[in-house]
Amino acid sequence: MKLFSTADHTALVTGSSQGIGLAVATALRETGADVVYHGIQDRPDVVPTGSKYVKVDLTKSHAPELLVSEAINARPELDTLVCNAGSFFDVPFIEMSRERWDKTLQLNVTATYFLAQEFAKRLVAEKRGGSIVITTSTNGFQGEPDSTAYDISKGALVMMVRTLAVSLGSHGIRVNGIAPGMIKTPLTAVWMETRANDLLEHYKKKILLGRIGTPEDCSGAVAFLCSGAAGYITGEIITIDGGLTVQQVGRM
C-alpha cells in the first residue's frame, strides 16, 4: 500500500457539487478513492461519470439518515465521511432572527453530528474502522463582525471533532478536521468581489503567504487525513489559512 494513497477507501463527501467539497472529492479520486458526491441540486456536470451522486437537503431533519443510507446502499464498502456541507446566513447580531439561527445550526452543526452518528452506527455494527473529516473554519477560533451564528456553529464543530474522536476511537474510527481561512469559493466570491479594493487587500497583508486561498489549497490536507499516512492521527484540526491567524497585525 502506498502511504498517501486512498485507493482502498470509499468516501462520502457532503457539499461536493462545488467549492471546497468538490476540490476534496477530486483530490480523493486522484489519490485512488471511490467517491460518493452530494449536493442540493440535480446532478451537476462536474460529477464524474460512474460516480454516485445523492441529492439531499441537509436542512431537513431526516436528511442525514437518508444520505448515509443512500450512500451505503450504493457503496456498501463506504468507510470515509467528509462532512463539508455548510453555509452562512448571518446578518448583524441585533437583527438576527430565530429562523436564520436555526437554519445555520441545523445545516452546519446538527446535520454534521447526525451524519457522523449514522455513518458510525453502520461501521460499528459491521466491526469496521473508518475515518471522518469535518470542515470547520478559522471562524471557530476567532470571531468576525456580523458573523455570530456562523462563528458559533464553526466553534461547535471544533469541539465536535474532539469529542467524536474520544467517542469513536475505541471503534477504530478516526475523527479529524480542517479549518480553512480566507478561501475564495462560490459562497464567498460574491462579497469578495464587492470588497476587492479594501477588505481583501487588508486580508492579503495579514496572510503570510500574501494571497487568498483556493478550494484546492484545502483538498490535500483532507486527502492526507483520509489516507494511511494519517493512521495514527485523531482529534486534530489542520488550519489552512496561509498564516492568516499566526500574526496579529499584518504588513503595513
Q: Which residues are catalytic?
A: 150
Q: Is 46 strand, coil or helix?
A: coil
Long-range contacts of 198-203 (CB under 8 A, 24+ apart): 202/250, 203/244
Task: State how far Cα 37 lies from the chain centre.
Answer: 13
CA distance 85 to 63: 12
CA distance 106 to 207: 31
**Which H/E stretch holds residue 134?**
strand 130-135
Q: Is 129 strand, coil or helix?
A: coil
Query: Using CA atoms in the order 136, 227, 78, 234, what is the torsion angle rounded to 10 degrees?
Result: -50
Query: Using CA atoms in the order 237, 158, 139, 66, what is the torsion angle rounded to 10 degrees?
Result: 100
Query: Are the CB atoms for 50 and 35 separated by under 8 Å?
Result: no
Q: What's the helix, strand, coil split of the chain in %, to 5?
A: 45, 15, 40
Query: Are the CB atoms for 162 and 176 separated by under 8 Å?
Result: no
Query: Are the CB atoms for 176 and 238 separated by under 8 Å?
Result: yes
